[in-house]
Amino acid sequence: MKSVVLLGPPGAGKGTQATGIAEKYHILHISTGDIFRANVKEGTPLGIKAKEYMDKGLLVPDELVCDLVEDRVTKDDCKNGYLLDGFPRTVFQAEHFDAFLKKNGQSLSCVVDIEVDEKILLPRMIGRRVCRSCGKPYHVDTMPPKKEGVCDVCGGEVYQRADDCEETVLNRFKVYKDQTSPLIEYYKKSGVLGEINGAQDVDKVFNDICALLGE
């Protein structure tokens, strides 16, 4: 059973890498951002609450996140393992999740920290487009879909996320620095952290992650 966390600032390439990694290791890709966006779209009580924070580039409060993820990884389709993309994002979430794993006699296999300089991240984020149905990320200049506005994989609509405008992106970088980057030290101390240079080509980043996770 492989339990992997993808860590890194917004735009580091977590979503881009997640599908291939999940396929290769036969584990489930769980993106908390995707879960919240689906709830926003469906207008659920969770979605209505989460939207207030997401629109501003702020983190959704910890109490709305921890149980959601812990319930999700307990489902049958996670028996072989899971890849967490966008969780944990605060030390509270990491500690809560560690306590949950410990209670179940488990621990994380690896935390993959994808590092990219902010100067490179901003144009990535501003040009990002995503599929409304399957969440696959694209980029208007560097990785456009074959047919404009249409997802190569599922045919869904490719759109720009409301929180990918410059003002909100800059806010999210600050939130990452203040609230999420302390997790690098946190996981370094527990000996599960592996660092990857996310400024390289997508294929090179993928190979480096696989080298870290092993066969």
4 with 27: CB under 8 angstroms? yes
Question: Residue for token digits 């946190």?
Answer: 186
Residue 132: what are its φ and ψ, rounded to 5°? Answer: -65, -25
Helical pair 166-175 and 118-126, crossing angle rounded to 10 deg: 140
Q: Is 113 helix (H, G, I), strand (E, B) or coil?
A: strand
> First and final CA of the chain: distance in angstroms?
13
Q: Which does 135 bind (CB under 5 to 8 A by kind): ligand AMP, ligand ADP, none?
A: none
- Residue 205 in the binding site for ligand ADP (CB under 6 A): yes
Which of 16, 39, 168, 180 touches ligand ADP (CB under 6 A)? 16
Residues 105-134, one symbol each (x = binds ligand ADP by CB under 6 A, - = not), give -------------------x--xx------
- Closest approach, Cβ 169 to ligand ADP, in A, equals 10
Q: State which amino acid sits at residue 155.
A: G
Ranges within 39-68 binding ligand AMP (CB under 6 A): 53-54, 57-60, 65
Q: Does 97 bind ligand AMP (CB under 6 A)?
A: no
Enumerate binding residues for ligand ADP (CB under 6 A).
Answer: 8, 10-16, 124, 127-128, 137-139, 142-143, 201-202, 205
